[in-house]
Structure 1
């Protein structure tokens, strides 16, 4: 089973989550959500750059799973996540993010960028 996303914590407290372009399945999407939750295991401030340049459109059921994940992990995110930057040059993928946030509001500050350098600059300006 190929990963829906890869997670790089080598620059902690900056975490990079890159979507691979793989089609979402129940298995790979649940693994992605579990790995994302695991980023909070240190219980320290962090920020995340979601790189969706290669992202495919997740199934509607997976968009709901993402919204449920946000709801279930709201407190954890509010306690530790200083912000999330989304690198999304594709307008369709931006619309998917809006659908997810219409189901469940993003509980921490976020911004959407077209370029990774812009996202990184914003994230590095957060209080980490």
Structure 2
């Protein structure tokens, strides 16, 4: 199976999700959603960077499935996710994100960036701000 996205937790609580450019299939898309859910297994604050620089436009069924996943897991997302940086250089993919948010709004602070460095810095700042509020 060619992965739809690769989830890297090496720098947890900063998690980077890199879309591979592979076409979504029922198997690889479900694996991707399962990996997103696994980010919350530690029940600790985290921030996400979704790098969609190589992403292909997913079919409408997958867009709906993503929106439904966000709705179904909104409690976990709101409780633990400090922010989501979307790295989306493509206008087409940015419009897909807007469509997904019409299905289900993003329940946490988020921002769209054209490059990974800016997105990663913003996500790290969300984590740092949360630590200062807790401490």
| CA shift for structure 1 position 85 | 0.2
| CA shift for structure 1 position 63 | 0.3
Greater fraction of residues in helix:
2
Which residue of structure 1 aligns with residue 97 of structure 2?
97
The 3-state SS of whatever aligns with 2:24 is coil
Which residue of structure 2 aligns with residue 112 of structure 1?
112
Question: Aligned partners of 1:92, 1:114: CA distance in 2, in Å?
Answer: 13
Question: Aligned partners of 1:125, 1:113: CA distance in 2, in Å?
Answer: 14
Which residue of structure 2 aligns with residue 86 of structure 1?
86
The 3-state SS of whatever aligns with 2:40 is coil
Runs of 4 or more consecutive aligned structure 1 residues displaced over 2 Å after TM superposition: none
How many pairs does the alignment contain? Answer: 128
Which residue of structure 2 aligns with residue 32 of structure 1?
32
Which residue of structure 2 aligns with residue 72 of structure 1?
72
Q: Kindly report the root-mean-square deviation, in angstroms, between the aligned alpha carbons of the 2 structures.
A: 0.7
Which residue of structure 2 aligns with residue 17 of structure 1?
17
User: How high is the TM-score relative to the length of structure 1?
Assistant: 0.98
User: How high is the TM-score relative to the length of structure 2?
Assistant: 0.93
TM-superposition CA deviations, 1:55-77 (whole Å, max 9, x none): 01111100000000000000000
The 3-state SS of whatever aligns with 2:79 is helix
Residue 61 of structure 2 is aligned to residue 61 of structure 1: yes
